[in-house]
């Protein structure tokens, strides 16, 4: 029984998204593909416990889902003809016909030559800029990562009906506004959207870690890494995808050191570096080298280089803050966000002393509501020996912070300087 459950879980997570991408590509219809795959998965759950797991589960799913798709097209066709004969005036184009697709691919989906292209097109559809960010994330996790609605809702700590409604609204917009399932003409811009969705998923997993120790909860970091890796395979010539992969790998390598046993935040300089995953760091270094060999710099690569300088330093004092400050300077020119400028100021403070760091802080008005601005200012003041301004800034940071682990951390810092 346990093996059947494991086989079904693998079918849902690994084979279902592939078959869905193939069917969506074949019929240019993501709804049909999603419904057909859901039918086939239900059939697997019903039949496998008695019939046993097929020799090639992926090929089985492909065959059954393809058959279900054709069944659905036939039913729809009958329905359409009935409506058309009942109300012909509603149909401006009487010559429109539905082609009958009877071609079955009984092969393992992985060996289908259309798979990479179909997966990419589906990924670009899920991350179409006409969908809002929440919808892009939900669709990507549901259709590309193969997570269930329950799993996504649990990962984001939102009620399942809310998430289900978000997905059905997005799917309705895809259908009603005719958002196309094709390769975008402006690939770089659209790829940027996909990368930001993947990084958002990763960060949700990273920042949410430890807040809800539910063991069955899907690890969004692992899911983001899996999706980023598959995107690297699909578009190997795009440097920024390798850059994002490196960035995620460097962060992920430090996953066990970020929180202590009380789920309290441990800052980078205080982390136990022996718990960092060396294999992950090596993979990050490789991904970063692959990115840089393509000679097309970008913000993910710069952030990965910064993360790489941190994660490759054997102890906190060995950190090359001068290089990191330079890299933040480059990041600010590409992505002129006040947060990048804040990080640059912190790095300058570490490299050239707290006075230089304080002088480099971005305009306070741009980040007045951002707790980390005040926390960084407080730390720089503390380094410079300005106790009272540090106290004031910490209090401001404490007032703005929302994450419980961060609040506890700030409380400790405030207590430290009493």
Partner 1 sequence: MEYMILLHSDESAAPDFAPGSPEFDAMMGEWMAFNAELAEGGHMIGGASLAPTGTATTLHKSPEGNSTTDGPYAETKEQLGGYYLVEAADLDEALAIAAKVPIPFGKFEVRPIAFRPEV
List residues near partner 1 by CB under 8 A.
92, 128, 130, 176-180, 182, 184-185
- For residue 184, the minimal CB distance to partner 1 (Å) is 7
Cβ closer to partner 1: 78 or 183?
183
**CB 180, min distance to partner 1, A:** 4
Query: CB-wise, 91 or 399, nearer to partner 1?
Result: 91
**Measured from the CB of residue 29, what is the shortest distance to partner 1 in angstroms?**
13
What is the closest distance, in whole angstroms, from the C-beta atom of residue 280 to partner 1 in the complex?
A: 38
Choice between 98 and 162, CB closer to partner 1: 98
Q: Within its chain, how far is the Cα of 312 from the centroid?
A: 24
Number of separate helices (H) and strands (E) present in the chain: 19, 0
Between residues 46 and 182, which has the closer beta carbon with respect to partner 1? 182
Paired with 265 in beta bridges are 259
Q: Residue 197's closest CA among 302, 132, 127, 118?
A: 127
| Nearer residue to partner 1 within complex by CB, 121 or 252 | 121
Closer by beta carbon to partner 1, 185 or else 418 = 185
Shortest Å, Cβ 131 to partner 1: 10
Could you report how far apart the first and last alpha carbons of the chain are, in Å? 60
Written as six digits, the tokens of 208 are 């949410």
Q: 92, 113 in Cβ contact below 8 A?
A: no
DSSP string, 362-394: PPGGGGTT-HHHHHHHHHHHHHTT-HHHHHHHH
Would you say 345 and 321 are in contact if contact means Cβ atoms under 8 Å apart?
Answer: no
What tokens does 80 get? 């359409």
CB-CB contact of 287 with 246 (8 Å): yes
CB 120 to partner 1: min, Å: 15
CB of 129 vs partner 1, minimal distance in Å: 9
At what angle are helices 220-234 and 239-253 packed, to 10 degrees?
150
DSSP 182: S
Encoding tokens for residue 15?
């084979």
User: In sequence order, what are the beta bridge partners of 259?
Assistant: 265
Residue 71 CB, nearest approach to partner 1 (Å): 26
49 or 180, CB closer to partner 1?
180
Q: How far apart are CA 309 and CA 300, in angstroms?
A: 14
Q: How many CA atoms lie within 13 A of 320 on its CB side?
A: 13
Q: Which is nearer to partner 1, 179 or 227 (CB)?
A: 179
């Amino acid at each position: 029984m346990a093996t059947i459950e494991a086989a079904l879980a693998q079918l849902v997570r690994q084979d279902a998204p592939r078959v869905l991408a193939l069917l969506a590509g074949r019929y240019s219809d993501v709804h049909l593909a999603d419904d057909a795959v859901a039918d086939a998965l239900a059939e697997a759950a019903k039949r496998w416990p008695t019939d046993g797991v097929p020799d090639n589960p992926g090929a089985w799913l492909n065959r059954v889902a393809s058959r279900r798709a054709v069944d659905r097209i036939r039913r729809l066709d009958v329905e359409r003809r009935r409506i058309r004969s009942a109300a012909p005036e509603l149909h401006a184009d009487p010559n429109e016909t539905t082609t009958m697709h009877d071609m079955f691919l009984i092969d393992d989906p992985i060996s289908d030559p259309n798979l990479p292209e179909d997966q990419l097109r589906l990924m670009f559809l899920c991350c179409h800029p006409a969908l809002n960010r929440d919808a892009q994330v939900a669709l990507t996790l549901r259709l590309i990562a193969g997570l269930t609605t329950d799993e996504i809702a649990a990962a984001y700590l939102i009620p399942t009906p809310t998430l289900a409604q978000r997905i059905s609204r997005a799917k309705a917009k895809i259908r009603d506004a005719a958002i196309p399932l094709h390769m975008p003409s402006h690939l770089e811009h659209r790829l940027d959207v996909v990368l930001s969705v993947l990084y958002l998923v990763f960060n949700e997993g990273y920042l949410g870690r430890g807040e809800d120790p539910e063991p069955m909860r899907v690890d969004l970091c692992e899911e983001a890494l899996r999706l980023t890796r598959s995107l690297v395979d699909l578009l190997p010539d795009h440097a920024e995808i390798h850059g994002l992969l490196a960035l995620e790998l460097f962060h992920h390598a430090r996953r066990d050191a970020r929180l202590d046993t009380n789920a309290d935040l441990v800052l980078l300089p205080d982390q136990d570096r022996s718990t960092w995953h060396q294999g992950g760091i090596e993979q990050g270094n490789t991904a970063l080298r692959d990115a840089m060999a393509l000679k097309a710099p970008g913000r993910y690569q710069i952030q990965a280089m910064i993360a790489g300088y941190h994660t490759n330093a054997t102890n906190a004092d060995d950190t090359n803050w001068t290089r990191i400050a330079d890299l933040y300077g480059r990041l600010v020119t590409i992505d002129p966000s006040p947060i990048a400028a804040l990080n640059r100021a912190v790095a300058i403070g570490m490299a050239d002393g707290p006075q230089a760091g304080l002088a480099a802080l971005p305009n306070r008005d741009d980040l007045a509501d951002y707790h980390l601005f005040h926390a960084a200012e407080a730390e720089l003041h503390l380094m410079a020996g300005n106790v009272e301004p540090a106290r004031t800034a910490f209090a401001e940071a404490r007032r703005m912070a929302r994450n419980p682990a961060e609040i506890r951390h700030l409380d400790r810092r405030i207590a430290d300087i009493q």
